[in-house]
Chain A
Amino acid sequence: MDDKELKQIMEEGFNAQDYFCDARPRVVTPVANKIVRKFYNWAQANSLWILAFGTGCGSIELPPLYTARYDVSRYGIFPRPTPRQAGVFIISGYLSVKTLKRVIRSYEQMQNPKFVLGLGSCTVNGGMYFDSYNTINRLDYYLPVDVYIAGCMPRPEALIAGFNELKKMIKQGKAEGANQYAENFDWYKANQKKIIKDWDLPEYNW
């Protein structure tokens, strides 16, 4: 197979309507009725499904979070293996450029409303990898982050505290990351493309 054929297959694949959406993510305002909106926010806060995608060393804190010692299921928090159903994305620790590509793709496949938790110092300012050639330093240049949990490594208790903070924000209607991403879509895309040199993703891929 030569390059031309490969390119053709790639283009056909990426344009296929069945798998990719060619529309930009759009801002969806919450329900206008105040009582219904509060009720929905309460439901969103009490049923948080985490996308099972560990990016860095922080993902080692997730198994104790789910199992007997810390058991987050008592707060209505469950792991979910598919981005279509998940609502919370934990960026667990450093994010290499290679992983960032997959993270963006998974994030865009999640449905509105969606929330991002930055776990560990690496997501705040790069942490101990601040001068690394292949990790990003500030997560919120690339994705809208709702809650940061600082530390290296933060313990599961810190994660639970972060979840409580997120719940508070959702109940107050302040966790609008999905809409923020849609509003500033061009800025986020420009930042992402600056750091990912081999950008072979379709333009809109959720």
Chain B
Amino acid sequence: MMEAIWTKIGYALASLFLIFNYGLLLIGVTMKIIARVHGRIGPPIWQPYVDILKSFSMRTAVSHGIMFYLGPVFRLAGGIGLYLLIPAVYGSTWLQNFSFSGDLLLVMYFIFFGMLGMALGAGEGGHPFSAMGIMRGLSQVTASEVPFALAVIALAAQHQTLSITEIVAAQQGGIAHWNMVTNPIATAAGMLAYLGMMMHAPFNVHMAPQEIPVGPPTEYNSSFLVLLQSNRSVFAAAKLILFMNLFFGGATSIVEMVIKTFLIFQFCVVVGVVFPRFKVEQSVRWLLKAPTLIGVLAVLIYSF
């Protein structure tokens, strides 16, 4: 029994290590791609590692109290928790993580968890821009959860399950079995909601440097920032894996996982490069119109 637990912990740590590095490289490659679109050369792809190391090597740090400490911890716990509940590679022993029946509901909660923790932490920072950033971020994430929840309900009704592993299992056996093909309406709603969740343009006004200085993390510095930077890679990769599992047939090997999540990520990157930022009220209105209606349609199809 004890041995089984230690093995599980070992697998979880290895799995986290993989996803942390994958997420950082993903961010690095994306910075390069965006730079090329702008006609620039762009930073080297290992730049996120150097940035984390540099923040870690800062000699002083300013704190504003206990919640200020806990905010980034909650944020990172949200990212790690989200990742550890999703099977990264279907059928793998160590990348299966802690997926269980009914995890889909918990995962939807965990997407929100980090943001709420951050709201408490950034609130104690006392900077008005932090509070504004949190308010904008929360309203936008809430709006994008509506079409996402509808898409998830449609999938749950289609497969008669709330387990991500079972949804992935039902999509095995070729591209014709993927939910993208068998349930295109839910996929459309889910992928539009995904744009709102990934914090890229046009839905990144709450993090925009030119709008209000970087939003929620305004007051965070040095080691606090390291936690937020680490979370950025884990959280982004976890969300990509979630969408891969829900709509694009999951993955049966690490290579397949990397290719699929990379392509899914490029969807929001390309949209972000092409379109300018929405204001918050615009993005909320946009998310509650077409994506939500598509989501309602997806649910209606399975309720009759």
Contact = CB atoms under 8 A, between A and B. Distances in A.
Interface size class of A (residues with CB under 8 A): 20 to 34
B64 interface: yes
B214 interface: yes
B57 A74 contact: no
A81 B57 contact: no
B289 interface: no
Contacts of B61: 111
A44 interface: yes
Interface string A59-97: 000000001100101101011111011010000000000
B60 A82 contact: no
Contact of B222 (A30, A40, A52, A111): A111
A81 B43 contact: no
Contacts of B41: 71, 73-74
B10 interface: no
Given A68-B39, A73-B42, A111-B222, A52 B209 contact: yes
B220 A21 contact: no
Interface in B178-226: 209-210, 213-214, 217-222, 225
Interface stretch (B46-54, B106-114, B157-165): B46-54
B50 A67 contact: no
A89 to B, nearest CB: 15
A142 interface: no
A202 to B, nearest CB: 15
A206 interface: yes
A18 B53 contact: no
Interface residues of B, number: 37
A78 B44 CA distance: 13
B44 A82 contact: no
A79 B40 contact: no
Contacts of B217: 85
B174 interface: no
B173 interface: no
Interface string B109-144: 000000000000000101000000000000000000
Contacts of A67: 38, 40
Nearest to A52: B209
B59 A82 contact: no
Contacts of B58: 87, 111-113
Nearest to A206: B62
A19 B40 contact: no
A82 to B, nearest CB: 5
Contacts of A21: 62
Interface in B54-70: 54-62, 64-65
B35 interface: yes
A172 interface: no
A78 to B, nearest CB: 8
> Nearest 6 pairs between A and B by C-beta?
A81-B213, A40-B57, A47-B54, A43-B53, A68-B39, A71-B40
Given A47-B54, A73-B41, 15 more contacts: A18-B64, A18-B124, A44-B54, A47-B50, A68-B40, A71-B42, A74-B42, A76-B44, A81-B213, A82-B213, A84-B218, A85-B55, A85-B217, A85-B221, A109-B62
Interface of B: 31, 35, 38-44, 47, 50-51, 53-62, 64-65, 124, 126, 209-210, 213-214, 217-222, 225
Interface of A: 18-19, 21, 28, 30, 39-40, 43-44, 46-47, 52, 67-68, 71, 73-74, 76, 78-82, 84-85, 87, 109, 111-113, 178, 206
11 contacts: A18-B65, A21-B62, A28-B59, A43-B50, A67-B40, A73-B35, A73-B40, A74-B40, A74-B44, A82-B213, A178-B59
